[in-house]
Amino acid sequence: MTTDLPSTNPSDELHDDPNPRTPHTPGTSGTGFDPDAIVVTGIGAVLPTGRGPEALWSAWRQAQPALSPYRDPYVRTRKISHFGHVPDALQEESRDSVPHKLRKFGTPFTFNAVLAAQDAMAAAGESWQQVPEERRGLYVAQDDSTDLSAAAFHKALDNARTDHSPEAGVNLTRLVAEAFGNAATFNPFTVIRALNNNTLALISIAQRFRGDCAAFVQDAGAALGALQRAAFTLREGTCDTALVVGAGSYNEPLKLAAQYRAGHLTPGGPDGAALRSFDAERDGTVLAEGAVALVLERAGDAAARGARPLVTFLGAALRPAVDSGVGPSALAEGPRGLLAEHGLTPDTLGAVLADGKGTVRHDAAEAELLRALLKDSGVLVGSLRPVTGTLGAAGPLAELALAPHLFATGELPPIAHLRTPPDDGTDFVMGAPRKRRIDSVLSLHSTFNGFAGALLAQRPHTD
């Protein structure tokens, strides 16, 4: 499957915007060609919005959330109202994309990663296949959801249910003893399925990667780490291309219960508006699953093999976000530094994609961060969150995958469901897409466990 984008020729400046800003002047994209710039040449996505970046863009553009009522064979509860499920049919396609004999080593979300990887590699073009296997880097960001979930215990728990002996009930010590003595207690492939880096293993086998590799956990921070690592090894010349994959699922019962207890989840909004990022009426987030894969290479190499660069990855920043006593100016330092490193300021930035988790607390903190970072720059702020839900490791990569569409269309879609933004100082896009020339995008991420990160991307140089 190829990604079919409109021409990326710079279009005329679009001035629907009542406050036109000075177009971003060359100094970044458009000056001389930099062969060492890191560009994306292939994108694959398996997400609640469907397969591929087009479907993702389309849903975002139309403010069409891909969230649905939560369902799971093991979990019957109303407490998890919505989830960003990968559609069943697509989940089947993922499974089918994995060679039969490898399927027992994987889980549904690692299958998604394999399919996304496959699509990204195909989109990179035939000449990409010429890159020797040992020169292909593989950097995987996997979420925490391993296979040792409640599902792994199901055989043992089933036994406990039918056992009428006085010792019935789940006795953990006995359960563990059974695991040592009785193979049927647990899935025999747990040792591989439960690996945190299972995705790395599976892709490298299924897609034949023999070069430098690394696995990162977890959440959005892992994706930023994987991107940084890929850019580093490409510049070092340790590999000639790098596949960066972010994949996972928040759908693990005990983890969902913990998120629920922490008060992060929406009880379910009225009429389908479940996740209302930044809105005064917001009441929690919706968790999701999915995989995004990106083929990265040096711009010089991409040009040499005739591949079309889709977006330039400038860099990422990741910082611990310690909770108490740190004001918004301190938190804004990471993204501010990232912008400055690449000669950008909030005034010259094209667009900001905010994390917009949708909880009262996270969005309030992010609104403060945005005010501290952007001040009076007038840069537009959008968010993908209400459409995909909170994605974990796939999140930052999904936004990088959308950058080419922003550059091509010059449109920043609205933040779905947003009626009452937190303040007047920041220009949140509401209601309808805003047209403006966009040459650079800053994507912001925070995690539930105390990291804050940012990713910076730019329109690639094209002749």
Partner 1 sequence: MSRRVVVTGLGAVCGLGLDWQTVWEGLCEGRSAIRGWQPPGVDDFPVRYAAPVDDAAFAARYGADEDPGPVERRVRFGLAAAGQALADAGLAAGGDGAWTAGRIGTAVGSGVPERDPLELLPALGEDGQPSWQALYARRDRLDRASGLFCTNDALAAGIAARHRLRGPALNFSTACAGATHAIGHGFRMIRRGEVDAMVVGGADSVLNLPTMTGLHLLGAPSTSELFGDRLCRAFDRDRSGLVAAEGAAMLVLESEESARRRGAIVYAEVAGFGSSLDAYQVTAPHPDGVGAALAMRRALADGGVAPEAVDSVNAHGTSTPLNDPIETRAIKDVFAGGEHYRKLAVTANKTMLGHLIAAAGAPELIATVLSVRDGIVPPTLNLENPDPACDLDYVPDKARHQEVSVAVSNSFGFGGLNASLVVRGYDD
**What residues make contact with partner 1 under the rule CB under 8 A?**
324-330, 333, 368, 372
Pairing of strands 434-435, 411-412: antiparallel
Long-range contacts of 332-335 (CB under 8 A, 24+ apart): 332/369, 332/372, 332/373, 334/452, 334/453, 334/454, 335/373, 335/442, 335/444, 335/454
| CB 330, min distance to partner 1, A | 6
| CB 280, min distance to partner 1, A | 15
User: Which C-beta is closer to partner 1: that of 150 or that of 330?
Assistant: 330
| CB 21, min distance to partner 1, A | 24
Residue closest to 43 by CA, chosen among 9, 1, 8: 1
| CB 333, min distance to partner 1, A | 7
CA distance 96 to 169: 38
User: Which C-beta is closer to partner 1: that of 1 or that of 364?
Assistant: 364
User: Which C-beta is closer to partner 1: that of 220 or that of 332?
Assistant: 332
- Tell me the longest C-alpha to C-alpha distance in the chain: 78
What's the per-residue H, E or C state across 49-86? Answer: CEECHHHHHHHHHCCCCCCEECCCCCCCCCCCCEEECC
The phi, psi pair for 404, rounded to 5°, reads: -55, -35
Q: Tokens for 272?
A: 């389908």
| CB 362, min distance to partner 1, A | 17
| CB 327, min distance to partner 1, A | 3
- 208, with CB counted inside 10 A (0-12, 13-18, 19+), is exposed
User: Which C-beta is closer to partner 1: that of 127 or that of 329?
Assistant: 329
For 207-252, give the DSSP string. Answer: HT--S-EEEE-SHHHHHHHHHHHHHHHHHHTS-SEEEEEEEEES--
User: Which C-beta is closer to partner 1: that of 49 or that of 426?
Assistant: 426
User: Which C-beta is closer to partner 1: that of 289 or that of 368?
Assistant: 368
User: Which C-beta is closer to partner 1: that of 368 or that of 439?
Assistant: 368
User: Which C-beta is closer to partner 1: that of 127 or that of 345?
Assistant: 345
| CB 355, min distance to partner 1, A | 20
Report yes or no: 97 and 301 within 8 Å, Cβ to Cβ.
Answer: no
CA distance 63 to 256: 26
| CB 342, min distance to partner 1, A | 21
Which residue is it, tokens 């959801």? 145
CA distance 97 to 355: 31
CA distance 402 to 385: 13
User: Which C-beta is closer to partner 1: that of 29 or that of 426?
Assistant: 426
| CB 261, min distance to partner 1, A | 24
